[in-house]
Structure 1
Amino acid sequence: MTSTLDAPTANEPNRSPKPVISGRRRDSAQFGIYVFVILPFIALFAAVPFAWGWGLSWVDVGLGAAFFIFSGLGITAGFHRYFTHGSFKAKRPLRIGLAIAGSMALQGPVITWVADHRRHHAFSDKEGDPHSPWMFGTSPVALAKGFWHAHMGWLFERDMTNSQRFTPDLLADPDIVRVQRQFGLWTIVSLVLPGVLGGLITWSFWGAFTAFFWAGLVRVGLLHHVTWSVNSICHMIGERPFQARDKSANFWPLAILSFGESWHNLHHADPTCARHGVQRGQIDITARLIWIFEKFGWATKVRWPTTQRLARISANEE
């Protein structure tokens, strides 16, 4: 009998599929995850006393905001809506640019990120989901454990999602494979470039250090937790106006910081839709960026929501 984890997903042919897990992460790679998860996390805790004792300049704020927006939209428009779900078609320069921008968020290489997220959708809130908050039960203790697991605990597990099964399209793209291999380079650029710019703008070593701290480490840590909150909070609490196969929910307080990703119920009800915030007043910055790409001719065949499309997934549908 085929187990749940080996069952074909909705987008896979009805044949014996490749396994979900391809192996165990090497010690060196596991160490890298600990460093790039924990170090920005420590920087977030240090941010308040650092600002209190030494201050926060407008150069730091400006660079931090710029790198947060650039790398954050690389995740939302690039890694998520384009590479994972194919919400639009992108010209080659845009495709490469989105892969680089997303890599600079330091959430993992593009193919690895997409494989994990496609696996999440294939088994959302069921056995096989890499980061469901419901995997331990519904008691208060189980939910607390589940929240930790969904938010960041799952990152420390050593099982690797099988990219041969979940991302054969990206593995066949030489440009994306190249960006995947260059993840170390874009990690260095993401952390060092803010410091270089801060030093040049202020013409001081102190300006370089504070820019590295705020626009490098703190920015990465904040963006990490915004993204992880979509995995954890948006599968636990919020509104569910659309029909989905899981517990995905809309959580409005995260809408701006997540660039529209926290309208998560619509996304799980209609994963390929290019706009997640489809109801009145739901700000979706990522969708607006995709709209700009489309106007410039850089993106085509955008899967915008339609009245008929939304009617099919409405929770109020009789």
Structure 2
Amino acid sequence: MTLAADAETTESAPREVRPIHGAPRGLAPHIATYVFILGPFAALIAAVPLAWGWGLGWVDIALAAVFYTVTILGVTVGFHRYFTHRSFKANRPLRVALAIVGSMALQGPITHWVADHRRHHAFSDRDGDPHSPWAFGTSPVALVKGFWHAHMGWVFDRNLSNAERFAPDLLADPDIVRVHRQFGLWTAVTLLAPAVLGGLITWSWWGAVTAFFWAGLVRVSLLHHVTWSVNSVCHMIGSRPFAARDKSANFWPLAVLSMGESWHNLHHADPTCARHGVRRGQIDISARVIWMLEKLGWATDVRWPTERRLTALEKRRKAVAG
């Protein structure tokens, strides 16, 4: 990154010029946050008993899988590795497409998401981190409270991260500002498109209803909890082979569902690296997608890991542990 926000992205400690919080979220967007977080979550809770005897078919499964894959990659490849950390450069059509499909994950407008995540890296597991599980201490009760806060409690905070401080590059990009303002549109698309496709494929209203439930609501909630687990679980348990200035850890059970994001220790050790799963057997689907985009010529200047850098981070970790 070539902008001021990059210093905070890479976990350095720059002189603070602007406050970490911007204007608080308005009442209507705040109510919408509750609706679009708790609504899909209720659907996810209902999914298990309903799956036994109500409306789950192969069309629903296929649509849910496709929409899950596309929208979570919009977050992992787009919002995270590209927009937040600039792990590669993207041409304009790819940049806009990544902004749109990332918005369809319903994790908030793009500028808010990026500002939150850059703030997380600037203050990771310290005062100022918007979602550290260690915010309340290390006692059992504090860790339970911290887990809830890191996993989803922080989402309901009306205080937004200051985009002028943490995401000035996005505020200066007319394409991204437009997508940010269209968040309501992409919310409707991500929930209604599965219903429309389900209805057309099955040629029935019932097919539309079940597709809306499974490929819309349940898919969104599953995606939420997988990505939020990177904030909570991956800062509490797992392996830490690389030197990082926080408690970030690798948690392999989430690797496939998170598209490689749960190889979280390397990411915090080297935030701008385009690949997080760097050792044999560490599946990183997001990195493979970036590789494909590079081969197509749509992504350039990809920041791939080097063995020299990885070895240095491992040695530093061992030195600290020793």
| TM tier relative to shorter chain | over 0.9
Q: CA deviation at 1:25?
A: 1.6
Partner residue of 1:207?
A: 207
What CA deviation, in whole Å up to 9, does each residue of 1:270-304 have, x standing for no partner?
00000000011000000000000000000000000
1:308 is aligned to 308
2:82 corresponds in structure 1 to 82
- Write the distance in 1 (CA, Å) between the matches of 2:201 and 2:269: 46
1:1-318 equivalences under 5 Å are 17-314=17-314, 315-316=317-318
Q: Is the Cα–Cα contact under 8 Å of residues 114 and 167 in structure 1 kept in the other structure?
A: yes
After superposing on structure 2, the runs of 4+ consecutive aligned residues of structure 1 that deviate more than 4 Å are 7-16
Q: Is the 8 A contact 1:8 1:15 kept in 2?
A: no
Give distance in 1, aligned partners of 2:9 and 2:76: 23
Residue identity matched to 2:318: N
Whichever residue aligns with residue 166 of structure 1, its letter is F
Query: Counterpart amino acid of 1:244?
Result: A
Aligned-partner Cα distance in 2 for 1:115–1:55? 39
Shift in alpha-carbon separation, 1:64–1:118, aligned structure 2, 3 A? same
Residue 317 of structure 1: how far off its partner (Å): 5.6
SS in structure 2 of the partner of residue 224 of structure 1:
helix
| CA shift in 2, pair 1:116/1:289, >3 Å | same
Instruction: Report deviation, 1:312.
Output: 2.2
Could you tell me how far 1:262 is from its partner in structure 2? Answer: 0.1
**Do the aligned residues in 2 keep the contact of 1:263 with 1:276 (CA within 8 Å)?**
yes
TM-score normalized by the length of structure 1:
0.95
What RMSD over aligned residues (CA atoms) do the two structures have, in Å?
1.6
SS in 2 for 1:161: coil
Deviation, structure 1 residue 23: 2.4
In the other structure, the counterpart of 1:3 is: none
Question: Which string of whole-angstrom CA distances, capped at 9 and with x for unpartnered residues, describes residues 231-254 of structure 1?
Answer: 000000000000000000000000
> Is the alpha carbon distance of 1:48 and 1:14 closer, same or farther for their aligned partners in structure 2, counting shifts above 3 Å?
closer
Say whether the 8 Å CA contact 2:111–2:167 is kept in structure 1. yes
Runs of at least 5 residues in structure 2 that lack an aligned partner in the other structure: 1-6
**Cα distance, 1:308–1:205 mapped onto 2, change above 3 Å:** same
Measure, in 1, the Cα distance between the counterparts of 2:187 and 2:158.
Answer: 21
TM-score, normalised by the number of residues in structure 2 = 0.94
Contact 1:311 1:317 in 2 (8 A): no
User: CA offset at residue 27 of structure 1?
Assistant: 1.1
- Greater shift, 85-94 or 304-313, is seen at 304-313
SS at match of 2:76: helix
What is the percentage of aligned positions where both structures have the same residue? 71
Match of 1:4 in 2: none
Report the CA distance between 1:48 and its aligned residue. 1.2
**Residue-pair matches, total:** 312
Q: Deviations over 1:138-193 (max 9, x none)?
A: 01100000000000001111111000000000111100000000000000000000
Taking the aligned partners of 2:308 and 2:284, their CA distance within structure 1 comes to 20
Q: Which runs of 5+ in 1 are unaligned?
A: 1-6
Alignment partners' CA distance in 1, 2:269 and 2:183: 32
Residue type matched to 1:28 in 2? A
CA contact (8 A) 2:277 2:283 kept: yes
Q: Distance in 2 between matches of 1:105 and 1:8?
A: 25
1:26-67 per-residue CA deviation (whole Å, 9 max, x = no partner) reads 111110110011001000011012111214111000000000
